[in-house]
Structure 1
Amino acid sequence: MYFYSSSFDLDKEALTISFVCALSAGCGLEFLLVLCGLEFSWSCPRHCICYTAPSTVSCQAHNFLSVPEGIPPDSERIFLQNNKIHRLLRGHFSSNTVTLWIYSNNITYIEPSTFHGFTLLEELDLGDNRHLRSLAEDTFHGLNRLNALHLYRCGLSSLPNNIFQGLRNLQYLYLQENHLKFLQDDTFMDLHNLSHLFLHGNRLWSLNQNTFRGLRALDRLLLHQNQIEWVDRLAFHDLKRLDTLYLFNNTLIQLSGDCLDTLPALEYLRLNDNPWSCDCKALSLWEWLKRFRGSTSSVGCHAPADMIGKDLKELRKEDFPNCSPTVPNSESRAQTNNLSGTVNPSINRGVVVGSGGQTHIVHPSRPGRSRNCTKPRNRGKGKGDNEVHQSKEVMADKEDSSPDFTDGGKHDHTSPDGTVTRRKHKCTPRTTVRPPSGVQQANNRATLAQSLLHVCALFAALMTTNIDFILR
């Protein structure tokens, strides 16, 4: 029940009497809020702060074990972060919710129908619930207006088929710092407007041809701090608008330039901290790096012995003796862009569906050279599944002006007095890319020449006007 301000036609004496009566009745605060033109909510969960315009319930950091009762059904924003909530069930929230933050709790189970019918929901933050581990396929179905979905640090080891089905307005998807080892084909197929995909800090080891199919609006793809050792030649074929690609701190030995040729909008690339082999297999990547005009990190050589410690970017053609020439650029691009739309049967060799529908990841056999752009290594004994990787990010290119997207997109908090400060942007706005020095100088000279032409034209016009005036 809400009380709203109204215009009072009372003289000073009557107003004074009413105020004194209200104080004596023990409702002075509420009455004073009404007189001051403020809105007050009588319905609010215990230990929470509620206010209107927009209708908000703030219940963070109170050690709640479950979603508190009494949340007004018309609440648009609900903040429940930093509690100890275990379960989310249907009926805990109403379909009027627009923003829902439940990060940093102890959620282990989400009833599949919890968010069904939430057609107004725009932001859902379930991040930092480390024991969630699994989600039902239809958990997010029907969230047609969802713009940002946070699932970072949730202990997820796999993503169900069609979990993101229908989320065509989603722009930000945070999946970093989980335990994902494999992404099924077309997992992101419906995310036509996704611009930011955060997958760093997982355990991914391969990127297949259709892993990122459908992501035609993707701007930033962060894949660093995984265990990626194999990338299909067409893994990035739909990412025509991709601006930023982070692949540093993986286990890549080689990467064909054909993979990167499918990224015409790429401006920032990070490949450092991989065990690169700088022999003939690196010739294609070396040629691509020579053509690239964006910002790149160092590409440190780990083999052969005479190349250890060198940067692939700094090598010369003479450093690749007896290497067969790579496919000409035009032919390579034609082959890269000639997509048949069919799925290579060998792509899913690493997926075995066992009893009960459980998915097991098995290392695939070595693909043919014509289908992949990285060379898989013998995996051997890997690290345990429960081992958390906290690798330090090394950004070798110190002059890079690209933003840092590795902080997980954390947010500010609601202040104790009930005022909610706005979140900081999940990603720092991109700074303008400065072209290489030669291009910059050419542009400056062109601008100067154009300015001189404008001045000369103006001077000629003035002279013509003065001559006409004198002749008259």
Structure 2
Amino acid sequence: MTSSRFLLLSLLLCLLPVCLSCPALCRCFSRRAEVVCDSTPFDSFPSDSLPQNTSILTIQFTNISTITETHLNRTPNLQELHLFSNQIQNLGPHLLRGLPKLRSLDLTDNKLTNLPANVFSHAPLESLVLKNNQIEIAGEDWLSENSTLTWLDLSGNRLTKIPGSLFGKLPNLDNLDLPNNRLEKVTERSLDALTKLERLNLNNNKIDTLDSTVFQKNLNLTHLFISRNKLQKLPQGLFRNLVNLQHLNLEENQLQTMAPGSLDSLVSLEEEGLDLAGNPWTCDGKIEYLWRWMNKNKSRVFLPDTVKCAAPPALIGRSVVSLTQSEIKAAA
């Protein structure tokens, strides 16, 4: 082979992933154009040495504290960016400008607080995970109108209010995670724009009341989790439009009774799809509706024997399904 042909062949080979460089302390998987950097000594983004064809980039367990648009300029083909368990406190404005293929961004377990306007608006994101940061306000200006986002995870932050103005930009959202925040209420129209929503997780907040119309536009909900809150009662008609709901978790609230008809519209509940345990049920005359419904739909209740009476004294510790009609009437 002549030297000129050898040189040409070498140049052609270097256009392939096998010839691409790999940053120090990282691992590169050329067949899927993936780079993984998970070494503690990292304290700056390794942008200068990243292969330009990188489509999946994971940087985790490092000391990186800032990431900007400039850091990502070298990897225009990124489809997934995983940045969990770092020390990131700041994201540059227009962070994703120049990433026209980015579908997934994960910033779990960082130190994010206030994020700049338009920070996520320049890429066709479908999945955005901001779990376990220190965010107090979810900004309506983070994303552009009619966002392509289908999954948003804001769990484990410091939110006190449902960011309804942000949700208005998410017509395609089907999965919303908000557990482990400091939410106290869900205002009546804050979820209206989420007409495609299928899964909503509000577990472990401080919600003590729900408006009867709060889920009226979420007709596609299949999974609703509201456990470990402070709900004392559920308004009649709360689940009226949730005919597709398969799983409902109301575990460990402060519920004492269930209004007549409250569960009648839940015709799609799956086996063990309803969790009511850990509530202080008052087993007087007002418990009759729940008692009848549970005995009729026992297979749909998760561990029905754990749904127990907290009052009156004579029935404390009894499971609701084990009661007799005479006991309920006697306690009325």
Instruction: Report the TM-score, using the length of structure 1 for normalisation.
Output: 0.55
> What is the rounded CA distance, in whole Å, between the counterparts of 1:261 and 1:313 in structure 2?
24
Q: Which residue of 1 aligns with 2:162?
A: 183
Greater shift in the superposed pair: 43-52 or 116-125: 43-52
2:99 maps to a residue whose letter is: F
Deviations 1:233-273 (A, max 9, x none): 21112110000111111100001231111212111111121
> What is the rounded CA distance, in whole Å, between the counterparts of 1:68 and 1:178 in structure 2?
28
Q: Which residue of 1 aligns with 2:181?
A: 202
Q: Verify: 1:44 aligned to 2:22, yes or no.
A: yes
What is the CA-CA distance between 1:156 and the residue it aligns to? 1.3
Identical pairs, percent? 26
SS at match of 1:40: helix
Q: Verify: 1:101 aligned to 2:75, yes or no.
A: no
User: Where does 1:307-318 land on structure 2 (aligned, <5 Å)?
Assistant: 309=317
> What is the rounded CA distance, in whole Å, between the counterparts of 1:232 and 1:163 in structure 2?
27
What is the CA-CA distance between 1:118 and the residue it aligns to? 2.3
SS at match of 1:259: coil
Kept in 2, the 8 Å contact 1:301–1:308? The answer is no
Kept in 2, the 8 Å contact 1:142–1:166? The answer is no
**Aligned mate of 1:257, from 209, 221, 236:** 236
What is the CA-CA distance between 1:90 and the residue it aligns to? 2.3
Larger Rg: 1
> What is the rounded CA distance, in whole Å, between the counterparts of 1:72 and 1:132 in structure 2?
27
Deviations 1:294-325 (A, max 9, x none): 1211253355842755666777898589x9xx
What is the CA-CA distance between 1:283 and the residue it aligns to? 2.3
Deviations 1:357-396 (A, max 9, x none): xxxxxxxxxxxxxxxxxxxxxxxxxxxxxxxxxxxxxxxx
User: Where does 1:23-422 land on structure 2 (aligned, <5 Å)?
Assistant: 39-70=17-48, 71-94=50-73, 95-129=76-110, 131-143=111-123, 145-166=124-145, 168-278=147-257, 282-284=258-260, 287-290=261-264, 292-293=266-267, 294=269, 295-298=273-276, 300-303=279-282, 305-306=311-312, 309=317, 319=328
Deviations 1:145-171 (A, max 9, x none): 211111000121221123243363222
Kept in 1, the 8 Å contact 2:17–2:33? The answer is no
Structure 2 regions of 5+ residues with no counterpart?
3-9, 283-309
Please give the root-mean-square deviation of Cα atoms over the aligned residues, in Å.
3.4
Deviations 1:431-454 (A, max 9, x none): xxxxxxxxxxxxxxxxxxxxxxxx
> What is the rounded CA distance, in whole Å, between the counterparts of 2:192 and 2:324 in structure 1?
36
What is the CA-CA distance between 1:231 and the residue it aligns to? 1.0
> What is the rounded CA distance, in whole Å, between the counterparts of 1:316 and 1:192 in structure 2?
48
Structure 1 regions of 5+ residues with no counterpart?
1-9, 15-30, 324-472
Instruction: Report the TM-score, using the length of structure 2 for normalisation.
Output: 0.76
Kept in 2, the 8 Å contact 1:99–1:121? The answer is yes
SS at match of 1:79: strand
2:241 maps to a residue whose letter is: T
Change (3 A) 1:84 1:218: same
- Alignment length, in residue pairs? 291
2:215 maps to a residue whose letter is: F
